Amino acid sequence: MSHADLTLSAWLNLSDEAATRTAAAIARGADVRLLEVGPHAYAGRSGRVALFERNDITYALVPGGTARLGHASDRWVPSARQLAGFAEAAAAYDLPGPLHRFVAEATSPPREVTLPARLIAVRSDDADTLLPDDDDDDDGYGHAWLMAGLARQGLRPPTPDEWEYACGAGAATLFRWGDDHPDGEPGEAPTTREPNLFGLVIGDDPYRSEFTTDPAVLCGGDGGSAVCGGSGPFLTWLTLATSYRDRDLAEAVHDGGLAGETPVRAVLPLA
């Protein structure tokens, strides 16, 4: 069996010894160094994490399989705080309602996908930091420049589906930790800073919206627009919803020449 066929259920059902052997085999096949394999918990859920290293980048194993993605608004029950926060934001910014429709339009639609297992960088890096110096000679700093530079290293960004799955790790809630947001500011609250169930620090800061393989889709925030604009906690926290989509962000990044300073999370495919 190809390691790309490793599903989440199969990975979690392995004994500790078998999981270590599997991770070691993945390391040999991908030419990476195995760092550790062990239990990991996040937001009341328990799992197992395998970490690897190559060229000073730490990767986590993200098993594949069939998963449900997107925000199912008919199953979401907003808290009193979210209802009040939306009402305040709607009055201040003339937002279209009702709440469920607004959130549905700001997130990706419900869907079922089947994804391969892969190694994904634990943290994202700005594109011009991740790409080697000789990529500076490429014309422009757009999405094609990013894809070509990563491909020369045997890497790529995640697809939008892969990013969303890696962030939520199977959680069916609005955020990867639940349906409501914690106290505090995004990027500062402990819940956002802790590695998720796959061991990834992802979707933790609305400023760090990340490239995907689709030049029109960035995931993980809105580039800090809601924070900078003082839009209030509801709109600010919504940008960290697992399936959040800012329809205009990619155009702003590309037209503004901001590709080099926009984060990207390296994906190392498995054979």
Rounded Cα distance, 175 and 67, in Å = 16
Per-domain residue ranges of the chain: 3-266
Q: Which residues, 6 or more positions from 70, have their beta carbon under 8 angstroms from its beta carbon? A: 107, 108, 109, 110, 111, 164, 243
Predicted confidence band at 138 (pLDDT cuts at 50, 70, 90)?
very low
The model's pLDDT over 165-184, given as tens digits with 9 standing for 90+, comes to 999 999 999 999 999 999 88
Rounded Cα distance, 68 and 172, in Å = 8
Q: Which amino acid is at 162?
A: E
Exposure class string for 50-68: b at 16+ Cβ within 10 A, else e: bbbebeebbbbbbbbbebe
pTM for this model (two decimals): 0.96
The model's pLDDT over 41-98, given as tens digits with 9 standing for 90+, comes to 999 999 999 999 999 999 999 999 999 999 998 899 999 999 999 999 999 999 998 9
Phi, psi of 167 (to 5 degrees): -75, -50
4 pLDDT more than 80: yes
Q: List beta partners, residue 68.
A: 112
The answer to whether 84 touches 185, Cβ cutoff 8 Å, is no
- Mean pLDDT within 137-144: 71
**Pairing of β 210-211 and β 218-219:** antiparallel
- Mean pLDDT within 147-162: 96
At 140 the pLDDT is 65
195 pLDDT more than 80: yes
The model's pLDDT over 95-115, given as tens digits with 9 standing for 90+, comes to 998 999 999 999 999 999 999
232 pLDDT more than 80: yes
Using alpha carbons, list the distances in angstroms from residue 18 to 21, 38, 160, 270. Answer: 5, 12, 31, 18
Q: What angle do CA 131, 65, 180 make, to 5 degrees?
A: 80
- Mean pLDDT within 104-130: 96
Q: List beta partners, residue 125.
A: 264
The model's pLDDT over 16-32, given as tens digits with 9 standing for 90+, comes to 999 999 999 999 999 99
At 133 the pLDDT is 65
- Mean pLDDT within 254-268: 94
- Mean pLDDT within 217-227: 95
Percent of the chain with pLDDT over 90: 87
Q: Which of 71-75, 152-156, 200-204 has the lowest mean pLDDT?
A: 71-75
